[in-house]
Chain A
């Protein structure tokens, strides 16, 4: 008989959006959900669920938010909670949220002024996205029982067409809707007190209207969508490749990256491809419509830096290859949170 080892406990890496987290979900939670006939259920591990009602789908999603620091350049936990929920719905093709819920767990002693600031940014994000909070729940826990505040949002919307993560075919183009790595780099440099000064700002924003523009331009040719949050664009490309049973070839020079993010990444040894975004989408489009979708994205204020970053290929299904301009490399998924390294 073996005594409990580290593998028997949940570690932080299990929450970082990579392979470890997917395995934990598969091993522990997937059995919870029965298959959804003609829809998207738990087993799909998509951004949300889709349940057929008549000739439409009801799309649902839920997300809990904890972030340190709670206020960061470009946003705060309130803006994050609304954007995350609205964006998850949008990634399924449901860009007009019918209603959101908001559950909040607050630690005893939490400053009321901070709570009100968080509420104000939630309101602002709702205005930007056209979302409405229709019900909520509040709990207070004792000091030390929860770390400050946890926000949970859930949302629902209807759509006539569901876009999943599994729709890529060889030849499809991959578009990212703007510069990558802004959110994760802004939060990380603050969280770890790295004392790096510069214009590192989170991109946190609801992008349902941007996504609507892409869907209107591309129609049925928009075949895969996902927001590159934890694990970054790398993680999304891996999911696309695995679920679509295709390879993915990315052109590194075409990746939009703000110079400050690139610089901080070089200094800390962190590849922007694995850094979180909170106001971006990776979109798979049939080649014939790629330019049309790109133009529609670029016409929107949140999509000005959109770019075609690569394509799905028939070879090497399940793998992601980066062409660096020098040679090719396989892109690995990150294990756990990206951390600054010394070597």
Chain B
């Protein structure tokens, strides 16, 4: 359920924000967002409402958490070590 897309806030006028979604713009309402939103913030849109301000740093943290999950699994299972090896190799290639 609940199709949501992240976008970047370009302008704010009261409870309305102009938000850029990968090159198209849409007006969103800010009534239900959990924290104050400023220009430059990322927000998650659902049916024309910002439902969450996405802190910049947490995008990186989520990615780090995925690595951690892989590591946790690996700690239980030495076989998985080569998976981490593969990932490191993948990173070098990129």
Contacts and interface: CB of A to CB of B under 8 A. Distances in A.
Task: Please tell me whether chains A and B touch each other in their complex, using a CB distance cut-off of 8 A.
Answer: yes
Given A266-B5, A342-B3, A195 B27 contact: yes
A342 B25 contact: no
A198 B25 contact: yes
Contacts of B23: 198-199, 259-260, 263
Interface string A228-254: 000000000000000000000000000
Contacts of A200: 24
Contacts of B2: 342-343
Q: How large is the interface on B (under 10, 10 to 19, 20 to 34, 35 or more residues)?
A: 10 to 19
Interface string B20-47: 0111111100000000000000000111
Contacts of B46: 342
Nearest to B3: A269
By secondary structure, the B interface counts as strand
A198 B27 CA distance: 12
Interface residues of A, number: 17
B22 A266 contact: yes
Interface in A295-343: 341-343
Interface of A: 195-200, 259-260, 262-264, 266-267, 269, 341-343
Interface of B: 1-3, 5, 21-27, 45-47
19 contacts: A196-B26, A198-B23, A198-B24, A198-B25, A199-B23, A259-B22, A259-B23, A260-B23, A260-B24, A262-B22, A263-B22, A266-B22, A267-B3, A267-B21, A267-B26, A342-B3, A342-B46, A342-B47, A343-B3
Given A197-B25, A198-B24, A343-B3, 14 more contacts: A195-B26, A196-B25, A197-B26, A260-B23, A262-B22, A263-B21, A263-B23, A264-B24, A266-B21, A266-B22, A267-B5, A267-B24, A269-B3, A343-B2
